Structure 1
Amino acid sequence: MAVTAALGVVVVTGISRYLGAHVAARLAADDRVGRVVGLDPNEPTAEIQRLLGGVEQVRADAASVPTVVAELDAEVVVHLSLVTSPEPGGRAAMKEHNVIGTMQLLAACQQASHLRKLVMRSSTAAYGASFRDPAVFTEDTEPRQVPRGGFARDILDVEGYLRGFRRRRPEVSATVLRFAPFIGSTADTTLTRYFAQPLVPTVLGRDPRLQFLHVDDALEALHRSVVEDHPGTYNVAGAGVLALSQAIRRAGRLAVPVFEPGLSAAATLAGGLRLGRYGLDQLDLFVHGRVVDTTRLVEEYGFEPRTTAAAFDDFIRRHADRSLVTADQLATAERAILDGIRRVRATAAKESS
Structure 2
Amino acid sequence: MGQVVLVTGVSRYLGGRFARVLTEHPGVDRVIGVDVVPPPHPIGGADFVRADIRNPIIAKVISQANVDTVAHLNVIATPLSAGGRVTMKEINVIGTMQLLAACQKAPSVQRLVVKSSGSVYGSSPRDPAMFTEEMGPKALPRTGFAKDSIEVEGYVRGFSRRRADVDVSVLRFANIIGPGISTVLTDYFTLPVVPTVLGFDGRLQFVHEDDAVGALVAATVTEGVGLVNVAGDGVVTVSQAARLAGHPTVPVPLPASGWLSQVVRRARLANLPPEHLQHMAFGRVLDTTRMREVLGFEPAFTTAEAFRAFVASGRGPEPSVLPAIQSALGAAERWTRAMGTTA
Q: Distance in 2 between matches of 1:323 and 1:316?
A: 16
Contact 1:208 1:288 in 2 (8 A): yes
Deviations 1:249-303 (A, max 9, x none): 122110011112322111224567x741311332221121111100110112332
Choose the corresponding residue for 1:99, options 76, 93, 96: 93
Secondary structure at the counterpart of residue 319 of structure 1: coil
C-alpha distance in 2 between matches for 1:186 and 1:254: 23
User: Structure 2 regions of 5+ residues with no counterpart?
Assistant: 320-328
Q: Is the 8 A contact 2:197 2:277 kept in 1?
A: no
**Matching residue of 2:324:** none
Q: Which moved more, 1:280-289 or 1:149-158?
A: 280-289
* Deviation of 1:9 (Å): 1.5
Amino acid at match of 1:260: L
Tell me which of 77, 82, 102 is aligned to 1:84. 77
| Structure-2 residue corresponding to 1:30 | 25
* Gapped regions of structure 1 (runs ≥ 5): 1-5, 325-336, 346-350
1:14 correspondence with 2:5: no
Aligned equivalents of 2:232, 2:39: Cα separation in 1: 30
- TM-score normalised per structure 2: 0.87
> What amino acid does structure 2 have at the position aligned with 1:150?
G
Q: Verify the 8 A CA contact 1:148 1:280 in the aligned structure 2.
A: no
Q: Give secondary structure in 1 for the equivalent of 2:158.
A: helix
Q: Measure, in 2, the Cα distance between the counterparts of 1:174 and 1:281.
A: 29
SS in structure 2 at match of 1:105: helix
Change over 3 Å in CA distance of 1:270–1:86 after alignment to 2: closer
CA-to-aligned-CA distance 1:171-228 (integer Å, 9 cap, x gap): 1110000011111122221211211222100111111111111111000000111122
Residue 225 of structure 2 is matched in structure 1 by: 231
Contact 1:263 1:269 in 2 (8 A): no
Deviation digits for residues 5-58 of structure 1 (CA, Å, limit 9, x no counterpart) = x5331111111101111111111122211111111111222xx1xx22411111
SS of the residue corresponding to residue 16 of structure 2 reads helix
Q: Which has the higher helix share?
A: 1
Q: Which residue does the alignment assign to 1:108? A: 102
1:68-127, CA deviations, whole angstroms, 9 ceiling, x for partnerless residues? 112221110000011112236432221111111101100111111111111010000001
Query: Higher mean Cα deviation, 83-92 or 183-192?
Result: 83-92
Residue correspondences, number: 322
Looking at structure 2, the residues matched to 59 and 188 of structure 1 have their Cα atoms a distance apart, in angstroms, of: 23
**3-state SS of paired residue (1:201):** strand
Greater C-alpha Rg: 1
Distance in 2 between residues matched to 1:321 and 1:130, nearest whole Å: 29
Matches within 5 A, 1:198-217: 198-217=192-211
| Maintained 8 Å contact 2:111/2:224 | no
Q: Is the 8 A contact 1:13 1:78 kept in 2?
A: yes
Separation in 1 of the partners of 2:265 and 2:215? 34
Determine if contact 2:196/2:277 at 8 Å carries over to the other structure. no
Dislocated runs of 4+, deviation >4 Å: 269-272, 320-324
CA distance in 2, matches of 1:201, 1:26: 37
Identity of aligned residues (%): 47
User: Which deviates further from its counterpart, 213-222 or 107-116?
Assistant: 107-116
SS of the residue 1:229 aligns to: coil
Q: Deviations over 1:105-152 (max 9, x none)?
A: 001111111111110100000011112211210000011222133111
Q: Is the contact made by 2:127 and 2:138 (CA closer than 8 Å) also made in structure 1?
A: yes
Preserved contact between residue 202 and residue 286 of structure 1 (Cα < 8 Å): yes
Q: 1:43 aligns with which of 38, 45, 59?
A: 38
Correspondence 1:52 to 2:5: no
Q: Name the CA distance, whole Å, in 2 between partners of 1:321 and 1:155.
A: 28
Moved more, 184-193 or 86-95: 86-95
Q: Which amino acid aligns with 2:16?
A: A
Q: Which residue of 1 aligns with 2:169?
A: 175
Kept in 2: contact 1:252–1:323 (CA 8 A): no
| Mapped partners of 1:39, 1:270: distance in 2 | 30
Counterpart CA distance in 2 for 1:304 and 1:164 is 30
Q: Secondary structure of the equivalent of 1:9?
A: strand
Root-mean-square deviation (CA, aligned residues, Å) is: 2.5
Alignment of 1:73 onto 2:66: yes
How far is 1:304 from its partner? 2.0
Determine the C-alpha separation between the residues in 2 that align with 1:72 and 1:298. 33
